[in-house]
Structure 1
Amino acid sequence: MAVSIRELRQGAPILDEDALLIFQKQWRTYQRLLDLDYLSHRDALSRLHAILIAEGAHPFSFLDLACGDVFGMVETLSDTHVARYRGVDLSTPALTLAAARLEGAPFTVDLIHGDIVEAIEQSDETFDIVWCGLCLHHLASADKRRMLAAIRRRTRKTCLIYEPARHDDEDRPAFMARFLRDHSARWNGLTESEWQDISRHIIECDFPERDADWRAMGIAGGFAGAEKLFTSATDFASLYRFDV
């Protein structure tokens, strides 16, 4: 059965041709990072998969915020007891790719086109597991706190977030300096143009929190437990688990 995409709200803006071209260029560059596993995305999803296998003995629902094109998610959910999957993303082209990848999945699939903040704050539905992969760091600190509190209200069991994290003694400029110093050589599989695109995006758009602050935000949002499970190979991002 084909997977449909529904709008979070009617009258949402339609992606125009210029926006589509920008998306395709940015998405190709981001996809290169995933293909080369420079963000340790495979390790993060592998740990998520292990948790779902070990702790998901009964059918569960799964909310994927900023799901993109669900890169790696079909494999992550395989052999688990997932009964219902919902993915939310602002990009129609990414969701179109996601729908194709999820077609024929042995569980209910619900894809929503819309802003993740609006989706989580306006809904009253709850999910057993909530996953946020590399999306919350674009928000300001106050908005992250508000978002994690809203996620807690929608979480029945566990929320996991995989996000860039500063060292506890780092401010944002120090994190960016470390990123440029450590990654310009390590990410040598990118072309110069791709590196410039990615580094510019990170410097202009990323607002990582300190390691301790990510955990504190989860507790302040109402979660009973907060734990760091994993840090990426290049010390760029960390996986956090928040339990109800």
Structure 2
Amino acid sequence: MNEPAAIRFFHVWDTYAKVVASNYMFHQELGVAVTAALRERFGDRPFSVLDLGCGDAATFAPLLQGFTLKSYKGADLCQEALDLAARNLGYLSCPVELKQADMLGELAASRPQDVIYTSFALHHLPTPLKAEFFKAAAQKLNPGGLLLLVDVVREEDESLAEYHSAYCDWLRGHMVELDSGEQDAICEHLVNNDLPEPCSLLQAQAQAAGLQRISLAIPHRRHSLSVFTLA
């Protein structure tokens, strides 16, 4: 990787680290809900995990402490993020595999899993590919397993353009630890890349794929955790 690309990567990751540290995207509340869902379903039983769009795993890795894992596999398009994930997951005693791959490709290639987890990644896919994601997840989920989907969502009567505008307005008013350049960079990324859906559409796609939602946590109206299992 050339030096300018490296600088860009670590600048973006530093900004996101500030967002997480200040809990602007409600990672703490969502993490509590993820941990509760895993504990309720598996208790002390070991389970396997496929983490799609894992990034550096900095927010998910701490949630796995106290559980016994059969295996962990993380997939992300960014090799630099995977290098950081290797360090953040270093405490795990189970086999750990980190692969540079896209979400749908890795999901299709995966063996069946007890837990399929993705956090703030699915919204990058257009609507038809989200439906394909749910179909593939249903095929790759072991009986009794869980699909954990942490993501941003639109309100039911909100257009994509309205979402982009409202989220950027909210961001500028609430993410006060970020300077204006960092706020601008997030908004530019959001407008050019984010394609969130209403919760009802995601639930309908999951149901059509043979999944049922068993819980929904919304600590903020645009940030949610949906938990699905095989119908």
| TM-score (normalizing by structure 2) | 0.92
1:130 corresponds to: 116
Q: SS where residue 232 of structure 1 aligns? A: strand
The offset of 1:155, in angstroms, is: 1.1
Partners in 2 of 1:47 and 1:72 — Cα distance? Answer: 13
Match of 1:96 among 60, 83, 100: 83
2:208 corresponds to: 220
Match of 1:237 among 213, 216, 223: 223
- Tell me the alpha carbon deviations over residues 114-136 of structure 1, each in whole angstroms, 9 at most, x when there is no partner: 21221112x15010011110001
Task: Give the gaps of 5 or more residues in structure 1.
Answer: 1-14
Q: Give the 4+ runs in structure 1 shifted more than 3 A.
A: 15-18
Distance 1:177 1:124, change over 3 A: closer
1:186 corresponds to: 174
Aligned residues: 227
Identity across aligned pairs (percent)?
26
1:109 corresponds to: 96
Partners in 2 of 1:177 and 1:221 — Cα distance? Answer: 32
Partners in 1 of 2:116 and 2:146 — Cα distance? Answer: 7
1:85 corresponds to: 72
1:73 corresponds to: 60
- Superposed counterparts of 1:202-221, under 5 Å: 202-221=190-209
Partners in 2 of 1:34 and 1:168 — Cα distance? Answer: 26
- Superposed counterparts of 1:31-180, under 5 Å: 31-57=17-43, 58-121=45-108, 123-156=109-142, 157-180=145-168
The offset of 1:168, in angstroms, is: 0.9
The offset of 1:17, in angstroms, is: 3.6
Kindly provide the amino acid, as one letter, of the partner of residue 195 in structure 1.
Answer: Q
Q: SS where residue 174 of structure 1 aligns? A: helix
Kindly provide the amino acid, as one letter, of the partner of residue 211 in structure 1.
Answer: C
- Tell me the alpha carbon deviations over residues 145-198 of structure 1, each in whole angstroms, 9 at most, x when there is no partner: 111211211111110101111111111112122212322111111111110011
Partners in 1 of 2:67 and 2:92 — Cα distance? Answer: 12
Partners in 2 of 1:32 and 1:46 — Cα distance? Answer: 20
Partners in 1 of 2:25 and 2:163 — Cα distance? Answer: 16
Q: Is the 8 A contact 1:161 1:239 kept in 2?
A: yes
- Tell me the alpha carbon deviations over residues 46-96 of structure 1, each in whole angstroms, 9 at most, x when there is no partner: 211112222213211011111111113222011112221111111111111
Partners in 2 of 1:16 and 1:43 — Cα distance? Answer: 37
Partners in 2 of 1:163 and 1:69 — Cα distance? Answer: 17
Kindly provide the amino acid, as one letter, of the partner of residue 115 in structure 2.
Answer: I
Partners in 2 of 1:55 and 1:76 — Cα distance? Answer: 15
Across the aligned residues of Structure 1 and Structure 2, the Cα RMSD in angstroms comes to 1.5
Partners in 2 of 1:55 and 1:82 — Cα distance? Answer: 14
Partners in 2 of 1:228 and 1:207 — Cα distance? Answer: 23
The offset of 1:227, in angstroms, is: 4.5
